[in-house]
Structure 1
């Protein structure tokens, strides 16, 4: 096929595509034109009701302490928190572990960003019953509790690239895999921004792989 003929074919295809798009737009415009004032008012009211409910939910979260990362003093407080909030991330820490301080930094940021989830921390040495019940043997460990039940754990930094230098986005992705936060990114594409520095072969992981894996953390043992 000559270049001139190819150009004509391409031009014809573009014209056909443009015609289809214009027809689709015309159909949408016609559809909107056929909507009467009463229907528009109903759509407007539904939108306003949705916005109102979203605002009420936000205020309810904030009144329950969402939006901040705080320490709770006892095991009893842990059970109170998981009753009041549908989604809870609890950091079991020890004062002697510097990796707990690393998690504190990231969790403080995420608590402000994801107000749909309650972020708390609890000194593991003050919660022996809870640690035994949840089988927490490695510090730090994040217990991810949804609807009153512990759904998942982030044990040490194994799922975060096996490095102390993981990013907040990496932890956010990991929590998203557990559906404990509303994650807007692609769960199949972990945001490991510097894989060479991590020295790992992480590329794309499946949520089931994470939840079902055998943990092998180099963090402080309980």
Structure 2
């Protein structure tokens, strides 16, 4: 895992690198960002902290300017957009800051618990994804409000 730069928050420079990463890693978190968006820089700060704590998950980012094909395929319209993958399949997405308190000053622990619900990081005391309760499967909502439109 160390050879694959686990524990480091890396930048994907080309679209092929995105595809390689998401299909070759068991669990990864990709931040789609724009270099001029303040909220993307805030998200980077939090993901950088979590990268060191959750070595088993690969954390990376890719500029929306370099990933136009995947921005379209994944229907990314609002930034920041954090897409969670397990074995090459999108299992969750966090769009904007609405689920994180809708404030720029949210704590890293809020993002950590939210990612834990996706099952892409192992956070103690967080319910695993898609638990069936009374015959219904839980599902996350990826709506957002006043974040940066891309």
Within a 5 Å distance, the mapping from 1:68-147 to structure 2 comes to 68-147=8-87
State whether structure 2 residue 143 is matched by structure 1 residue 215: yes
Where does residue 104 of structure 2 map in the other structure? 164
Give the whole-Å Cα distance in 2 for the aligned partners of 1:75 and 1:186: 33
| Cα deviation digits, residues 23-61 of structure 1 (max 9, x gap) | xxxxxxxxxxxxxxxxxxxxxxxxxxxxxxxxxxxxxx2
TM-aligned CA deviation for residue 215 of structure 1: 0.7
CA contact (8 A) 1:155 1:217 kept: no
Equivalent residue, structure 1, for 2:3: 63
1:215 & 1:178 partners in 2: Cα distance? Answer: 16
Q: What is the number of equivalent residue pairs in this alignment?
A: 142
TM superposition shift of 1:123: 0.3
CA distance in structure 2 between the partners assigned to 1:74 and 1:127 by the alignment: 7
In the TM superposition, residue 179 of structure 1 has moved relative to its aligned partner by 0.5
Q: TM-score, normalised by structure 2?
A: 0.89
Distance 1:214 1:183, change over 3 A: closer
CA-to-aligned-CA distance 1:38-96 (integer Å, 9 cap, x gap): xxxxxxxxxxxxxxxxxxxxxxx222111010111011100111122111100000011
- What 5-or-longer segments of structure 2 have no aligned partner? 129-136
Q: Gaps spanning 5+ residues in structure 1: where?
A: 1-60, 189-206
Rg: which structure is higher? Answer: 1
> Do the aligned residues in 2 keep the contact of 1:68 with 1:119 (CA within 8 Å)?
yes
- Where relative contact order (Cα < 8 A, 6+ residues apart) is larger, the structure is 2
Higher strand proportion (structure 1 or 2): 2
Residue by residue over 1:87-106, the C-alpha shift from the partner in whole angstroms, topping out at 9 and shown as x without a partner, is 11000000110001101111
Change (3 A) 1:156 1:73: same
SS of equivalent residue, structure 2 residue 10 = strand
Secondary structure of 1:125's partner?
coil
CA positional deviation for 1:151: 1.1
Residue 217 of structure 1, CA deviation: 2.3
CA offset digits 1:176-197 (Å, max 9, x no partner): 0110101113449xxxxxxxxx
Segments ≥4 residues shifted beyond 4 Å: none
Report the 3-state secondary structure (helix = DSSP H, G, I; strand = E; otherwise coil) of the residue aligned with 2:22. helix
Post-superposition shift, 1:208?
Answer: 2.8
Q: For the structure 1 residues 214 and 100, does the alpha-carbon distance in structure 2 shift closer, same or farther, using more than 3 Å as the test?
A: closer
